[in-house]
């Protein structure tokens, strides 16, 4: 029997894709190494308990959405942390039907049983909690490579991805339950999808729909991870869409309104369509923002970021020193990185620096790609290789400190 692969005809797994996949495997190996040396913490307990409550039953405490309270931000992180445990628990209960009584994993059918109380019966609880966040880190790395490769070619894509997989900040966020890596994924995907929608506006309307659906999902991920990020994403996306969509600027606001409404519907779904729990999001100060350079001052002097710091300094010199680097593809991630590296979340703790790291790496990749096309191509490639090697070394040396 022959299978039809017509729908997959545009997908290729040639040498560039294989190299990118191999680099992501290095990221995955580091994440698993860090996870294997961690122990269950009180934070794990909170995410496991409250995440499972969202999927399986309402809070036993009257007036609250979960026993963690009315979660006013980062609800998606609880959802994705609890889902593998819920699925694992359901599987064990099903498998118990085929086990001897003394071999049953779930010894009771009490609906109030918790994965935390069962942590010695269910295997790999620590890994199950972290798998969604590791997957988000991989997806963000793949998205960064895809975007930078399309904009700057293969070498530009490899440069961005190589610095990404050896970023201690990204690795730390990928091996613990938290909303930051999910926010970074939603923000990066959302901004570049905004640009994709603006480009699609120059063509037939039938090409708008898939991009608008993807944009709605990205906005929803950002909103459900950190509501303040949605405000920044809407503002930045609107500005860059205005920049691109010449002749169609009057349609930008309606498109963004439709996307925002769709994102809030998906956000409402994350709260189980509970009006009271959802309303608490708007009664809190979760969306408050402020300006501060203190997080950036802590990020750049960190020894584990030495290669990224050198790459950033080199990219800035080239960006302001060479006329050919001053174009939209480089300027977009540059301005976005400046924005995210200079804001703080004043209402709910957040890490905009992490949200900005993919844009900083995209900026570095774009400027370096221009240098690769210069008459001193070999020198530029050798210098970039040395910077990547430096970042790899300092990141690997810093891994024990990330546990």
Using the predicted structure, report yes or no on whether residue 130 has a pLDDT greater than 90. yes
- Per-residue DSSP letter, 66: B
Return the minimum-mean-pLDDT range out of 78-82, 222-226, 254-258, 285-289.
285-289
Distance, in Å, from the CA atom of 308 to the CA atom of 276, rounded to the nearest integer, reads 44
Q: What is the pLDDT of residue 191?
A: 97
Question: Of all residues in the chain, what percent carry a pLDDT higher than 70?
Answer: 90
Question: Is 115 within 8 Å of 29 (Cβ atoms)?
Answer: no
- Helix (H, G, I), strand (E, B), or coil: what is residue 95? helix
Q: For the beta carbon of residue 104, count every other beta carbon within 10 angstroms.
A: 16
Residues 164-217 have pLDDT tens digits of: 999 999 999 999 999 999 999 999 999 999 999 998 888 777 778 889 999 999
Q: Is residue 65 over pLDDT 70?
A: yes
CA distance 197 to 64: 39
- State yes or no: pLDDT of 159 exceeds 70: yes
At residue 1, the pLDDT reads 39
The predicted model scores a pTM of 0.92
pLDDT at 11 over 80: no
For 297-322, the pLDDT digits (tens) are: 999 999 999 999 999 999 999 999 88
Q: How many CA atoms lie within 13 A of 78 on its CB side?
A: 27
Q: What is the pLDDT of residue 5?
A: 41
Poorest-pLDDT segment among 139-143, 165-169, 252-256: 252-256
In contact, 226 and 350? CB cutoff 8 Å: yes
Q: How far is Cα 27 from Cα 137, in angstroms, rounded to an integer?
A: 9
Average pLDDT (4-33) is 82
pLDDT of residue 23 exceeding 50: yes
- What is the model's pLDDT at position 10? 63
Concatenated DSSP letters of 247-279:
T-GGGHHHHHHHHHHHHHHHHHHHTTT-HHHHH
289 forms beta bridges with 345
Higher-scoring residue by pLDDT: 329, 170:
170
Strand partners, 336: none
Q: What is the pLDDT of residues 367-400, one digit of tens each?
A: 999 999 888 889 999 999 999 999 999 999 999 8
Residue with tokens 């294989």: 18
Considering all CA atoms of the chain, what is the largest pairwise distance in Å, rounded to the nearest integer? 75
Of 60-74, 138-152, 163-177, 250-264, where does mean pLDDT reach its minimum?
A: 60-74
């Amino acid at each position: 029997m022959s299978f039809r692969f017509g729908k997959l005809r545009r997908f290729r797994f040639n040498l560039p894709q294989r190299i990118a996949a191999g680099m992501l495997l290095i990221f995955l190996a580091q994440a698993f190494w860090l996870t294997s040396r961690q122990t269950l913490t009180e934070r794990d307990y909170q995410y496991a308990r409250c995440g499972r409550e969202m999927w399986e039953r309402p809070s036993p405490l009257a007036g609250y959405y979960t026993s963690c309270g009315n979660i006013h931000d980062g609800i998606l992180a609880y959802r994705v942390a609890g889902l593998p445990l819920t699925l694992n628990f359901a599987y064990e209960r099903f498998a118990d039907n085929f086990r001897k009584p003394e071999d049953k994993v779930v010894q009771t059918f009490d609906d109030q049983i918790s994965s935390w109380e069962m942590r010695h019966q269910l295997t790999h609880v620590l890994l199950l909690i972290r798998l969604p966040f590791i997957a988000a880190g991989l997806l963000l790395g793949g998205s960064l490579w895809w975007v930078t490769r399309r904009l700057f070619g293969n070498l530009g894509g490899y440069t961005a991805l190589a610095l990404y997989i050896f970023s201690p900040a990204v690795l730390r966020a990928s091996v613990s339950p938290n909303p930051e890596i999910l926010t970074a994924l939603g923000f990066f995907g959302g901004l570049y999808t905004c640009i994709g929608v603006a480009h699609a506006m120059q063509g037939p309307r039938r090409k708008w729909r898939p991009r608008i659906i993807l944009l709605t999902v990205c906005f929803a991920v950002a909103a459900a991870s950190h509501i303040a990020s949605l405000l920044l994403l809407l503002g930045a996306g609107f500005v860059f869409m205005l920049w691109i969509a010449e002749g169609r600027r009057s349609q930008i606001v309606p498109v963004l309104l439709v996307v925002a409404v769709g994102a809030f519907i998906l956000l409402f779904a994350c709260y189980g369509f509970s009006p009271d729990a959802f309303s608490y999001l708007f009664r809190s100060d979760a969306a408050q923002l402020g300006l501060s350079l203190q997080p950036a001052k802590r990020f750049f002097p960190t020894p584990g970021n030495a290669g990224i710091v050198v790459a950033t300094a080199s990219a800035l010199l080239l960006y302001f020193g060479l006329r050919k680097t001053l174009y939209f593809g480089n300027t977009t991630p540059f301005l976005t990185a400046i924005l995210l590296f200079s804001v703080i979340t004043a209402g709910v703790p957040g890490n905009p620096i992490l949200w900005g790291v993919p844009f900083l790496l995209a900026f570095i990749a774009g400027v370096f790609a221009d240098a690769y096309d210069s008459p001193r191509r070999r020198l530029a490639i050798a210098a970039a290789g040395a910077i990547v090697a430096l970042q790899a070394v300092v990141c690997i040396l810093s891994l024990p400190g990330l546990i």
